[in-house]
Chain A
Amino acid sequence: MAEREPKVVGYCCEKHGIECVNLAARSGKQYDASIRLVRVPCTGRVDGMHILRALEDGADAVFVLGCLEKNCYYDTGSIEGRKRVDYVKSMLSQVGIEPERVEMFNASSSMAWKFPEIVSTMTDVAKRLGPIEPRGDRQ
């Protein structure tokens, strides 16, 4: 059987976040296809619940991509986004799940190099940790 491809969900803001993704694409960057981008108007819209639900629904890792904190389209949205991510991380570590499965990133619309980096960080995490399932089953 072919090796299982990881599943990574990325909640991406429609302002700087998606522009960063677009610019990366248009500057010819190639990255792993495991990323599933879901658009949100602002990372402040992301609720810890969405992140946990995505993990429940089978994602191996989830990231949130928003504007730079000092240059957020909605002024403070990406700061809120980071707080939500941090809270989820603390919950995960309390139930024995690797908090690095969840991460917050910031980028501006001109940072084309950043998105492939984010993708490789998150797919590496997803590949290394595998799906959330009992250890014994993964031999």
Chain B
Amino acid sequence: MIVAERKPLGEIVEMIAQLHKVTVIGCRSCVAICLAGGEKEVKMLISALKLKNRKEGRKQEFDGFVLERQCEKEWVKEVDDKILASDVILSMSCSLGAQTIADMYPEKVVVPGLNTAMFGVPEEQGMWSEKCLGCGDCIIHTTGGICPIARCAKSMLNGPCGGSSDGHCEVNLDIECAWYAIHERLKLQGRLDLLEAVRPPKDWTPSHSGGRRIIVREDAKLTQHQKRGKEAVI
């Protein structure tokens, strides 16, 4: 899932400082699950901001609620009136949610309350770790189910760099060397031979380097004939 964490409150305060009616919108999806932008965080953020304002004698109006998925227009549409009535939308969602609102309401100021950090997994309660970079061309079947693109600081493709020591990464000794882990995993599976094949340089075009990615499923897309109202206008 997408893992995010709340921006330092000082930063948030600064972003909304000049605007009066603030609507805080959270999301019940990934960011709620990673404890960053669910209803609880939205309510606590509003409380903290109100306290800050009271301390500084400033007045701002706050409203806050949570959408099922902020990255989908249909859910955002449901709170149309509230968005239109506000001066600034403080999105407590990943950047996808914030951008969905920003694109739907181009005249509105949308500011991010969270830093969208990574695709990660909850290793345990309160700890998430990155395991995918979204490169668009998965190879983990050749690396024992461990992604060297995301889990190696240098995204090395053919074994560790010279900085791997005792299974740790030279960039940060607290993280494991992905290639060490891959070696151990393949050894366990008796498939070390997989490491003998040399991987050619990776084609990064399916990744971000190929420009902003758009995935189309023609069989799922609605045809012009099926669309209604505003959506029908090309």
Separation in Å of the A97 CB from the closest CB of chain B?
6
- Beta-carbon contact of A52 and B57 below 8 Å: no
Chain B residue numbers with a CB within 8 Å of A55 are 47, 51
User: Complex: how many Å from CA A137 to CA B55?
Assistant: 10
A-B CB contacts (within 8 Å), total count? 53
Interchain CB contact under 8 A, A91 and B48:
yes
Q: Which residues of A contact B49 (CB under 8 A)?
A: 95
A49 is contacted by which of B47, B54, B57 (Cβ under 8 Å)? B47
Please give me the residue from chain A that is nearest to B57 by CB atom.
A134
CA distance A89 to B165 in the complex (A): 39
A91 to B56, Cβ gap below 8 A? Answer: no
Given contacts A49-B47, A52-B47, A52-B48, contact A95 B10 (CB under 8 A): yes
Instruction: Assess whether A3 is interfacial by the CB under 8 Å rule.
Output: no
Whole-angstrom CA separation of A8 from B9 in the bound complex: 25
The answer to whether A132 and B55 have CB atoms under 8 Å apart is yes
Provide the main secondary structure of the chain A interface: helix
From A91, A133, A134, A136, B44 is in contact (CB under 8 Å) with A91
Contact of A91 with B9 in the complex, beta carbons under 8 Å:
yes
Q: Say which size band chain B's interface belongs to.
A: 10 to 19
Q: Which of A47, A49, A56 contacts B50 (CB 8 A)?
A: A56
Q: Mark A33-53, 1 if CB is under 8 A from B, else 0.
A: 000000000000001110011
- Asked if residues A133 and B55 are in contact (CB atoms below 8 Å), the reply is yes
| A94 beta carbon closer than 8 Å to chain B | yes
Provide the residues of chain B in CB contact with A88, threshold 8 Å. 44
Kindly list 9 other residue pairs between chains A and B, CB separation below 8 angstroms, not including A88-B44, A95-B49: A48-B44, A52-B51, A56-B47, A56-B50, A92-B48, A94-B48, A97-B55, A134-B55, A136-B57
**Judging by beta carbons under 8 Å apart, are A97 and B51 in contact?**
yes
Evaluate contact between B54 and A133: CB separation under 8 angstroms: yes
> Which 10 pairs, one residue from A and one from B, show the smallest C-beta to C-beta distance?
A52-B47, A134-B57, A94-B9, A95-B52, A91-B48, A95-B9, A132-B55, A95-B48, A49-B43, A48-B44
Tell me, in angstroms, the Cα distance from A92 to B13 when the chains sit together.
13
A91 and B41 alpha carbons, distance in the complex (Å): 11
